[in-house]
Amino acid sequence: MWEIYEAVGREAMVTGASDDERMAEIRKRMLATAIWQVLLFAGTAMLTLKLFLADRLQ
Cα 15 to Cα 9, 11, 22, 46: the distances in Å are 10, 6, 10, 42
Tell me the C-alpha distance between 35 and 30, whole Å.
9
**Whether pTM exceeds 0.85:** no
Write the pLDDT tens digit of every residue in 9-51: 899 889 999 989 999 999 999 999 999 999 999 999 999 999 9
What pLDDT was estimated at residue 24? Answer: 93
